[in-house]
Structure 1
Amino acid sequence: MPVSSAPLTRFLALSVLTGALLSACGGGGSGPSQTTPATPNPTPPAPVTPAPVTPAPVTTFSVSGVLTFPGATGAATDGSPDVHAARTTPTAAGTGEIPGEYLIVTRPGLSVQGLGTLTVTTPDVGVTTLRRVTGSSAAGLALYRSEQTLSGPQSRLVAQTLLGQPGVQGVTPNRRLHALATPNDPYYPVQWQYPALNLPAAWDRTTGAAVTVAVVDSGVVPHADLRDRTLPGMDFVSDPDLAGDGNGVDPDPTDLGGDTDYHGTHVAGSVAAHTGNGRGVAGVSWGARIVPVRALDTTGSGSLADILGGVLWAAGVTVDGVPDNRHPARIVNLSLGGPGACSAAEQRVFAELRARQVVTVVAAGNDDVSASTSSPGNCADVITVGATGPDGRRAPYSNHGARIDVMAPGGNSRLSVSVNGRAYPGGILSTVRDQSGQDAYAFMDGTSMAAPHVAGAAALLLGQEPTLTPDQVRARLRASAAPLGSRCDVSGGCGAGLIDVNALLGGSSPAAPAPTPPVTNTAVVVAALFMDGDTLDASRSEFTEVPGSTLRPPYTLRNLKAGTYLVAAWQDTNDDGQVNDGEPFGVYPDPLTLSGAGRALTGINLTMEAAAVTGASLTGSVTAERARQARAALRAMTGSAGKQTTR
């Protein structure tokens, strides 16, 4: 029967890719030796009957490890994707009622055409004459317009009086409807999470007031898409050796990048990126303001003392030795955490925030375990947020269980999302800096990305109803969420489910979740590529496919012969046989030499990072030189691996 060509195509692509990488490294051996042929013997030897030879057993090896898809992955995007968005942003316009115009429903059997003119008398308005403008006699519906100019209150009084007229069954004030508020930001169509949250309908109710949201994280860069959206902040990283800026606590909360991959900047963009400015991405709340608090150093971690100090300061609590925050936050977002119980210190801080009417939103964690095991998500007085992917299911990394309050999109870059015929990673796209320090946008995954969507939704709600308490905000989020049911994929549950921002704000929601772009789940190809000098021998290489079902899937490559191998992995998310920007790609840093007795080599773990064919380099565990070589290999590979079919 026919065999799918996809695994072979991807294997060939990896061969070409890593071959170019190997060439860039300068080769891996001396290559085949060259010898001078011996002079032929003029007298042929007598025939000899060979003795039976028992073949020596073939020694084989296996290589195994784990593929790691980090909780934050993504290639910087420095060009506009091939998507299209509306070029204008309609403004939500209250009720849109048109004074003096009424849609009148008559009782069955009564001719609407026979009611060409209606006259009503009200105490405060007097006599009002209404004339039929248009309608449908078959449907018993007609539009009537007042001959007198009426104010809004007068028009509503007339409508109430009309209900008492003979033959009138219903009266609806005529009103204007308008297109749902649609951002004109060029990357907005790639932000699949917003329709999933029913945000376009919510934006038609409100685009948000200037509610202050503190992002306690790795800091925030002065990104163009966050311009006029940030307020003065503070750097609480107290250890000068880890701060990256040469000092301790200071008033400069700039995100310095490093191993953080501009995590805090990405989070801030999800909450409140400048929307409708024709640039980059859209934020959940168009009016929110960000107070950046740097509590994580350049390694992406921070001490509990620094974090709690930053949280208290953000909420307007005096912290010794630090000037008070002139812009206390109504909402604090914490896209951070670690294993362990909620400490007394943490609980004291969050209780203080609750008493000050500050809403605290916390990421649940990315370990696919019970959220009760991760702090501060397991503390009281916080809203704990799990993550969903573009397929509407719990993301495979997301923590879960009874401690989850609600779910929000956190992304799953192992899935691809199709927009206008082009595939994009199924992560969350938001603001970052690229390797050259320029403004850029990247796809990232994690409950860290889910939490700011809830913080942004809470900002929309508090802008509309500013007197709500933290407990009321939490209750409203839970009551308006859509249960995941079987899409949670674990017995412990996913809290109240996926937040519905339109329902949260008091609007009605569709019976089914809003549609998301088509999603594809593609397996990962892992290959041990045999190195023959400075070339790769596909005939002596082995590959396997790993299903895309978890964030850290194991792999095993078997039946490897003695020799030197380069181990690499790649996920062809759009199934085109080519490595594209943002597709997960990983290579083990050093070649493996297998020799001696056959054995199993374990612990060959690969970190899957976003491939960058154009512009930005790979990050994280891949060194700058390896990134340069990988880019060269990717360019050499593109278009080289044609589709193959085996039978």
Structure 2
Amino acid sequence: MTAAVAPMSIANAAPAKPAAVTDTPAAVATERIAVTYKAAAVEARSDKAAATDAADKAEDAGQYLRFESRMPTGEAVFDLGGMQSKDEVADVLAEFHADPNVVTAEPDLIMHSMAEEGSDPNDTDYTKQWDLSEPTGGMNVPASWAKSTGKGVNVAVIDSGYVKHSDLEANVEGGFDFIGLTDMARDGDGDDADPSDEGTWGSAEECRGEPKKSSWHGTHVAGTIAAVTNNSKGVAGIAYDSKITPVRALGKCGSGSALDISAGILWAAGVPLKNTPDNPNPAEVINMSLGGKSACPGYYQQAINRAVAKGATIVVAAGNSKQDAAQHTPANCDNVITVAATDRGGDRAFYSNFGNKVDVSAPGGEVRRETDPPGSVTTPENGIWSTVNAGETTATTEAYKPMMGTSMAAPHVAGLAAQMKAAKPSLTPAQIEQAIKDNARPLPGTCTGGCGTGIADATKTLAAVTGTGTTPTTPATHTNNTRVAIPDNGAAVTSAITVTGRTGNAPADLKVAVDIAHTWRGDLVVDLIAPSGTVHNLKPFSSSDGTDNIKTTYTVNAATEKANGTWTLRVQDKAHLLDGTINAWNLTL
């Protein structure tokens, strides 16, 4: 996150005003908050100063507030003294929002697994895995194994941890437990190097009104990616020669802290963390079959951006709320591949989120239930079968089970990403995303609201990246050097670039370089308008940012936009006294 620059005085300028806090997740009931201070603020680098600031704000708000720790990306984490109500959290956040030294103040969010359980099968084998091979709803995996089985690629599964299973054990290495909240952890010792799944069961009181059995969710997800194959038992993994690194972040009730998950993202990608052993097996692919309803927190986006910069492709579940994925995180974060779920007939699964944030779809299954007896399963054959444990609380014997959810869809795409990386190690996360989207096939069924470019197709995608299909387009820079005057406190002005000759969608890391002259850049609002008309804000208004000019490159997740068409830079001066000029700008896509 780029810190706002401290204001500098200029003749006849309007009086400086506090910088506007950027859009952040709304207040929710939580135990912790994360605060980003401006780079020039002493609290940004001094834990003692942050602790003093907490004491002052606690007194003003009339609530408990204590400095707890520092996030790897620099945010200060404050403890609220236990779970506080939404209104109490809003009061504390308001104290920080009113502070001109604060860029963002955001609540810790509780994330949940994105799966629904089926029933224990009597027998399991490859023929149950319609999701891999059936031509209607499957992902066309078997023929892709001639091109790649994921050998040499590490996939981190940020989830509930791992319970030992003989159909997966040979492909599991390393891991870490990042659950810091003791009421969720169950192991009683906070962060440690043991990613074992301790069970996610909980009472109705503990689990938002519904009692939960242990799902062994992380092991189910891992099996879809890398279950041992051709071993005469169980199920087949999509990238069955890849390695799984389990990162435990979901505990009791299948819930976990977004702050803990953010640390897990960084560690998984090989980013060094203070007081934590380095990951000896940095992940080329990260799967996150989890989420919650919120805007994307700044600390999430920071962690994702750093992981992607290290070369990790991040795949996330769109969510199971039958809503627009733009309302759910991390599905709505930038630099991720957001995956919706389809059923055996190739329709959007009834529970799956949808919308412009969805990049692609994959099989998630539908395991229908009856109410009498409660929870009885009528269509286990239509679920996604994978590795679990038979224990309803703690682990007992290994088993297989059908589940459904965008949690099941995401690891299909993560497995494909691992196959691609093994087949062509030079592929970047943006190229992997683009190739998956470009080579998806249209849904044979329906998807009200939008399910990305279609159902991911493993064989077609592997053919593309290995030279026998449509390869990812080499990025090119498109420039407009025509100068455009920006009137003082006037109407917005625009400058356009028309892109032709590209196939498929724009990249998830579209680069937008701008050169704008203005002696108080905070007056300006800068937007990129895609050919579809979608507006991507590049720079908000900030009354206190008095630095000269804007000469920078922004990164925009434009993966849902068609590359061809007219892209427009829109700039508006929203304060009195100074005007400016668009000197030039360009797109790299």
- Scaled by the length of structure 2, the TM-score of the pair is 0.54
**Percent identity for Structure 1 against Structure 2:** 45
Partner of 2:155: 213
For residues 192 and 403 of structure 1, what CA distance do their matches in structure 2 show? 27
Partner of 2:231: 277
Letter in 1 for 2:342: T
1:189 aligns with 2:127: yes
For residues 212 and 434 of structure 1, what CA distance do their matches in structure 2 show? 27
CA apart distance, 1:206: 2.5
Letter in 1 for 2:126: Y
- Partner SS for 1:337: strand
CA apart distance, 1:233: 0.6
- Partner SS for 1:302: strand
For residues 210 and 287 of structure 1, what CA distance do their matches in structure 2 show? 7
> Measured at CA, do residues 310 and 423 of structure 1 come closer, stay the same or move farther in structure 2, by a change above 3 Å?
closer
Partner of 1:72: 116
> Measured at CA, do residues 504 and 415 of structure 1 come closer, stay the same or move farther in structure 2, by a change above 3 Å?
farther
Partner of 1:383: 337
Unaligned runs of 5+ in 1: 1-69, 82-186, 417-421, 510-647
- Structure having the higher Rg: 1
1:489 aligns with 2:447: yes
1:244 aligns with 2:288: no
CA apart distance, 1:228: 1.3
For residues 210 and 439 of structure 1, what CA distance do their matches in structure 2 show? 27
For residues 269 and 310 of structure 2, what CA distance do their matches in structure 1 show? 8
Partner of 2:261: 307
Equivalent of 2:407 in 448, 473, 489: 448
Contact 2:364/2:384, CA 8 A, preserved across alignment: yes
- Partner SS for 2:230: coil
For residues 303 and 379 of structure 2, what CA distance do their matches in structure 1 show? 44
CA apart distance, 1:299: 1.8
Partner of 2:556: none
For residues 350 and 309 of structure 1, what CA distance do their matches in structure 2 show? 10
For residues 326 and 483 of structure 1, what CA distance do their matches in structure 2 show? 39
> Measured at CA, do residues 391 and 257 of structure 1 come closer, stay the same or move farther in structure 2, by a change above 3 Å?
same
For residues 361 and 164 of structure 2, what CA distance do their matches in structure 1 show? 29
Partner of 1:352: 306
For residues 380 and 286 of structure 2, what CA distance do their matches in structure 1 show? 31
1:502 aligns with 2:459: yes
Letter in 1 for 2:118: G
Contact 1:221/1:255, CA 8 A, preserved across alignment: yes
For residues 265 and 459 of structure 2, what CA distance do their matches in structure 1 show? 29
Unaligned runs of 5+ in 2: 1-113, 202-213, 371-377, 470-589
CA apart distance, 1:241: 2.9
Equivalent of 2:325 in 363, 371, 379: 371
1:65-85 deviation line (CA, Å, top 9, x unaligned):
xxxxx94112223x425xxxx
Equivalent of 2:424 in 465, 475, 479: 465
1:295 aligns with 2:295: no
1:325 aligns with 2:279: yes
Supply the RMSD in Å over aligned alpha carbons.
1.9
CA apart distance, 1:258: 2.9
Contact 1:216/1:293, CA 8 A, preserved across alignment: yes
Letter in 2 for 1:74: G
Contact 1:76/1:432, CA 8 A, preserved across alignment: no
Letter in 2 for 1:212: N
Equivalent of 1:234 in 176, 179, 188: 176
Letter in 2 for 1:468: L
CA apart distance, 1:203: 1.3
- Partner SS for 1:506: helix
* Alignment map for 1:72-221 (pairs within 5 Å): 72-77=116-121, 79-81=122-124, 187-195=125-133, 196-221=138-163
For residues 405 and 118 of structure 2, what CA distance do their matches in structure 1 show? 12
Partner of 2:514: none
Contact 1:271/1:452, CA 8 A, preserved across alignment: yes
CA apart distance, 1:313: 0.5
- Partner SS for 1:346: helix
1:482-526 deviation line (CA, Å, top 9, x unaligned):
1227x2331x211101000000011689xxxxxxxxxxxxxxxxx
- Scaled by the length of structure 1, the TM-score of the pair is 0.49
Letter in 2 for 1:203: W
For residues 150 and 369 of structure 2, what CA distance do their matches in structure 1 show? 31
- Partner SS for 1:264: helix
Partner of 1:516: none
Letter in 1 for 2:160: S
- Partner SS for 2:290: coil
Partner of 2:490: none
Partner of 1:254: 196
- Partner SS for 2:116: coil
For residues 446 and 379 of structure 2, what CA distance do their matches in structure 1 show? 25
For residues 270 and 488 of structure 1, what CA distance do their matches in structure 2 show? 25
Aligned residues between the structures: 327
Contact 2:128/2:385, CA 8 A, preserved across alignment: yes
CA apart distance, 1:286: 1.5
Contact 1:239/1:247, CA 8 A, preserved across alignment: no
Contact 1:190/1:424, CA 8 A, preserved across alignment: no
